[in-house]
Amino acid sequence: MGSEARKRIGAENGRGGSLIGLLSRMPDEESCARWLLEHENPGGWRCPRCGCATCSPVRGRPHSFQCTRCRKQVSVTAGTCMHGTKAPLRAWVAAMWLASHSRRGVSGLELARVAGVSENCADYMLRRLRAALASPCAHSVLDGAVELDDFYVGARRGGVGRGTRKSKMIACVEEAEPGGRRGRCVIRSVEGIAGGDYRLFAHDHVCRSAEVHSDMWVGIRGGLAAWGGLDARPFDASDPVASLPVAHHVISNFKAFLAGTCHGVRDLDLQSRADEFSWRYSHRDSDDPLGDMLAAACAGRIRRADIPGLATAQPEQPMMGHHKPRRAVS
């Protein structure tokens, strides 16, 4: 596929495109599978066995195409987070569009209503999508001027300050370059927030050359001693946002996402929600957010074992069910 075709796809799927417009171009499962085939092979499809460039749909095998020369069959969902899915591909496209375009993310209930699948099915699809986003987020390394801070989420469980028994998280956010690209963020759920926890986090996610802004807590200064650009800022309790404005802005948006879209989250699901939020924040200026999400979704197969907190989630049952809102655990 040439640059013209890339531009066309970007314009159709990108910020200017609508979900209705996108789905109207793929009225059935076969056209949807074709669309996926085109996106998974941006240079044009080639048979993995004989190199032939043409294929046709396989009757009776949904999502599959057959090479017109050697009859090798390939599935567009094999090796992706949609591997073995029973849900319609159109529902998957709707899920990816909503999860990548919506500023506040999408809940299982909303997706069930839009895509016409049961809430269990929608919930399971979104869990698979979040699991697909985990890898790019886990390997994200931030550079330039970054702000770093810890925070707590969940119901009160005793303890105060850094001794709280709430779930502990560390957030790192790149400051926007003047007139340049806007920053990315990483949010990780951590066991504790001692200096060693900060060091481990920074080892995975903060470039050594970064200019790190954080508060003056002694644990942070000790943990990040190896990062030469550490700038400890005094914390003003009367105006907590003033010292680290970008990090605090992201943290408050993440908490609003947990409360507003997720209606509370179990500890087991916290990291996958953080990955979804971080991914969307980091791609908020992308020209083709759906294409970016699709690339992550197609990067590898997701197994049940890859999805945290599956004890209560049911495998996909694509038939439409009644929408019964679930109670949040915390």
Summarize as ranges the residues that interact with Zn ion (CB under 5 A): 47, 49-50, 52, 67, 69-70, 72
Per-residue tokens: 160: 């105060």
The residue among 70 and 155 lying less far from Zn ion, judged by its C-beta, is 70
Give whichever of 50 and 225 is closer to Zn ion, judged by the CB atom: 50
Q: Which residue has the tokens 């990090």?
A: 247
Q: What angle do CA 11, 87, 103 make, to 5 degrees?
A: 45
* Minimum separation from the CB atom of position 31 to Zn ion (A): 22
CB of 67 to Zn ion, least distance (A): 3
For Zn ion, the closer CB: 47 or 171: 47
Q: Which is nearer to Zn ion, 50 or 256 (CB)?
A: 50
Dihedral sign (CA 133, 137, 140, 144)? positive
Tokens (6 digits) for 201: 């986090």
Give min distance, CB of 192 to Zn ion, in A. 55
Residue 179 zone, left/alpha/beta (φ > 0; ψ -120 to 50; rest): left
CB of 74 to Zn ion, least distance (A): 9
Type of residue numbered 309 = G
Note the helical H segments in 41-162: 89-101, 108-115, 119-138
Distance CA 164, CA 167 (A): 8
Nearer to Zn ion, 50 or 241 (CB): 50
SS3 90: helix
Question: What are the residues whose beta carbons fall under 8 Å from the beta carbon of 299, sequence distance 6 or more?
Answer: 80, 132, 135, 136
Minimum Å distance from CB 56 to Zn ion? 12
Q: Which two tokens stand for residue 6?
A: 């890339």
Distance CA 174, CA 244 (A): 11
Q: How far is the CB of 61 from Zn ion (least distance, A)?
A: 16
- For residue 318 the two structure tokens come to 């694509």
In 3D space, the residue among 185, 187, 183, 205 whose CA is nearest the CA of residue 150 turns out to be 187
Amino acid identity at 33: A
CB of 43 to Zn ion, least distance (A): 16
Q: 299 by DSSP, 3-state: which? A: coil
Residue 53 or 138 having the CB closest to Zn ion? 53
Of 47 and 172, CB closest to Zn ion: 47
Taking the least distance from each CB to Zn ion, the nearer of 70 and 241 is 70
Are 142 and 207 contacting, i.e. CB atoms less than 8 angstroms apart?
yes
CB of 78 to Zn ion, least distance (A): 16
